[in-house]
Amino acid sequence: PITSLPGVVQHTRESLLAEVRELADLGVGAIILFGIPSTKDSIGSGAFDPEGIVQLALADAREAVGDRLVVMADLCVDEYTDHGHCGIVDARGSVDNDRTLEVYAKIAVAQARAGAQVVAPSGMMDGQVGVIRQALDGAGFGDVSILAYSAKYASGLYGPFRDAVDCAIVGGGDRKGYQQDWRNGPREALREVFADLDQGADMVMVKPALSYLDVIAAVRQAVDVPVAAYHVSGEYSMIKAAAANGWIDHDVVATEQLTAIRRAGADVILTYFARWFAERGWRPFDFQCE
């Protein structure tokens, strides 16, 4: 169990199998896997090791559910690096964008080989989508799609996730060198979105969701590809904590927030409420908004 994400757990290979089968039965459309390696190193090599935990889990999940739900993999190194950054750190302690791209290319191929149908680069390195597309195509995985975390803000709302994946930036740095400044609205977000589409992204994502409904709406207006929004860990935990205190009605607020994200224009929502939502017999497209 993850204390700061009530109802969410770290899985073993075995418990994951049971979970994905149940999710497929419930009609959840897709899952996205994040890995926690037993050892971390400076380049995050566990992320592209063929025997790395996510590669094993991807293969397990595909075997368990086949094509009944879409199996996606988050593509980044922060869970796998001993320093906690989303990229390779240079001698000055800064993230080296271009050296990181070489690692991302290897991760993409390893994930595709293991059975990922969609890879989702979340590290916000410049040029990541193009390098990943080229690597996938070069390895014969032209049919693996890219869900690009295109407009990802340096948000305070990722706190519980970092507990979930045992990931803290050593020395107390932050991700403001590569994630977006939340003072910047759709203009910067759209530059990122169009750059990713030019490089071959199949779907684009805005993250977090609720504080960025304006960005979701602008992106939905500007592009023809599916737009995803990530309702992140802090957004989920705030509802859980307030509801546990009896301060808000859990089901009403969760429904209201997911509906708001859909109303803003998201076609796809990544949310820790997916299971709860599907258990009610709901499907995303039941939530049509004007």
Q: Which residues are catalytic?
A: 152, 207
Residue 172 or residue 246: which is nearer to ligand PBG going by CB? 172
What one-character-per-residue DSSP string does 43-98 give?
S-GGGT-TTSHHHHHHHHHHHHHTTSSEEEEEE-STTTBSS--SSEE-TTS-EEHH
Residue closer to ligand PBG by CB (options 29, 173) is 173
List the one residue out of 195, 261, 254, 199 whose CA is nearest residue 227.
261
| Cβ contact 199:130 at 8 Å | yes
Q: For 118, what's the count of Cα atoms within 13 Å in the CB-facing half-sphere?
A: 21
165 vs 238: CA distance, rounded Å: 19
Please identify, using beta-carbon distances, which residue of 81 and 145 lies nearer to ligand PBG. Answer: 81
Q: 98 vs 174, which CB is nearer to ligand PBG?
A: 174
**Smallest distance from ligand PBG to CB 270, Å:** 8
Q: Give the residue at shortest CB distance from ligand PBG.
A: 161
Binding site for ligand PBG (CB under 6 A): 74, 76, 78, 86, 122, 158, 161, 175, 232-233
CB of 158 to ligand PBG, least distance (A): 4
Question: For 42, what's the count of Cα atoms within 13 Å in the CB-facing half-sphere?
Answer: 9
Which amino acid is residue 15, in one-letter code? S
Cα(199)–Cα(189) distance, integer angstroms: 15
User: Minimum Å distance from CB 81 to ligand PBG?
Assistant: 10
d(C-alpha 227, C-alpha 39), whole Å: 35
Q: How far apart are CA 174 and CA 185, in angstroms?
A: 20
Closer by beta carbon to ligand PBG, 73 or else 197: 73
Nearest distance, CB of residue 76 and ligand PBG, angstroms: 3
Residue in the block written with tokens 């990931």 = 167
Nearer to ligand PBG, 176 or 283 (CB): 176
Amino acid present at 44: G
CB of 101 to ligand PBG, least distance (A): 15
Smallest gap from residue 88 Cβ to ligand PBG (A): 14
The sheet with strand 70-75 has its strands ordered as: 30-33, 70-75, 118-121, 145-152, 203-207, 227-231, 268-271
Helical pair 213-222 and 250-264, crossing angle rounded to 10 deg: 30
